[in-house]
Amino acid sequence: MPELPEVETIKRSLAPRLLGRTILAVEVRLPKLLAGMEPAALARRLVGQVIGGMDRRGKYLLLELAAGDRVAFHLRMSGRLVLRAAGPTEEPHAYLFFHLTGGEDLVYVDPRKFGRLYYLSAGEKLPPPLFALGPEPLGADFTPSLLAEILAGRRGAIKPVLLDQRLIAGIGNIYADEILHRAGIHPRRPAGGLKEDELRRLYDAIRGVLTEAISYRGTSKRDYVDGEGRPGDYQERLAVYGRADEPCRVCGHPIRRIVVGGRGTYFCPVCQV
C-alpha cells in the first residue's frame, strides 16, 4: 500500500506538470471507485475546471482545482496515478481518465480495485475518512511532546498505534517496521510504557525514516510507481521489512517475522527490545 513517502513522491512528481491544465473530459471505467457520486455527475463537475495544484493529507492525494473544489484520491492497496500521453492504452487496470489540455491524460490504475475518489466542493468539509486523520508526522505541529501525549496510557502494542491513522497520519506497515527498528523498540512493546529516551528515539526515527524514504522517492515492493511511472529506490535501503532470515544491517542477527495486530511484522530481536 502506498504510504506517506509514496503519496508525497507522487504529489511532487505530478504537481508541476499539472498546474494550469484544464480538464477536457472525464472517463470512468469502474464506477465503484467514486465515493457517493455517479460518473456523469463527476464529469459535469470536472470538465472545464483548471488544476490549481496538488496536496497530500496522510495517505490521501488531493487534486486542487482553481475554483476551490478538490478531488481526493485514496490509493489503498495498489492504486497508481500517472500522467501519460493521450491515446488508447493497453493497461488492463486503467479505470479513470482525466483528459487534459497539452495532449496528456491523468490516469488512475488499480489492479486490486480498492481505491476511492472523493469529490469535495469549494468549502465542503472533508469526508469522515479524511476528517478523522491525526497529525502529519512531518508537520511543524508534530513534536516530541505531542507524540508523548498520543502514546500516554495506551496499553496496546506500539506498532498498531503507529498504524492507526486517527492518531498519526500516513504511516503504514513498511515504515512502522523501519521506524521501530531505527528506534530500537520491539513492535510488541506497550505504547504507553516507553521511557523518555525511547520516546525521543521514536520521534527522531519517525521523522528520519519518512524524510529519507521521500528523498529516495518511496519504496517499490509491488505496484507503486510515481506520477511519471518511475519506481522508487528506498526498497534497497530497507533495514528489516521483507528481510526475514536475512542479517540485520546493524548487528548481523537474522531478522525475524512475527504477526502483530494482524499484520506481518519484521524486526531484529537483538537491536529491538
Residue 80 has phi, psi (to 5 degrees) of -135, 140
Q: Which residues does residue 26 pair with via DSSP β-bridges, in sequence order?
A: 98
For the question of residue 212 being annotated catalytic, the response is no
Residue 20 has phi, psi (to 5 degrees) of 85, -5
The x, y and z cell numbers of residue 219, run together, are: 519504496
For the question of residue 190 being annotated catalytic, the response is no
Q: Which of 205, 209, 194 is nearest to 149 (CA)?
A: 194
Q: Cell 477536457 maps to which residue?
A: 24
Task: Give the whole-angstrom CA distance, residue 185 versus residue 82.
Answer: 37
Check if the beta carbon of residue 127 is closer than 8 Å to that of residue 46. Answer: no
Considering 188, 207, 263, 269, which one is annotated as catalytic? 263
Task: Give the whole-angstrom CA distance, residue 34 versus residue 41.
Answer: 10
Considering 3, 6, 8, 178, which one is annotated as catalytic? 3
Check if the beta carbon of residue 204 is closer than 8 Å to that of residue 171. Answer: no
For the question of residue 59 being annotated catalytic, the response is yes
Considering 2, 5, 160, 187, which one is annotated as catalytic? 2
For the question of residue 3 being annotated catalytic, the response is yes
Considering 11, 59, 70, 243, which one is annotated as catalytic? 59
Which residues, including other chains, have CB under 8 Å from residue 259's CB and lie 6 or more apart? 265
Q: What is the total residue count of the chain? A: 273
CB-based contacts of 99-102 (< 8 A; 24+ apart in sequence): 99/23, 99/24, 99/25, 99/26, 99/27, 100/18, 100/21, 100/22, 100/23, 100/24, 100/51, 101/21, 101/22, 101/24, 102/21
State the catalytic residues: 2-3, 59, 263
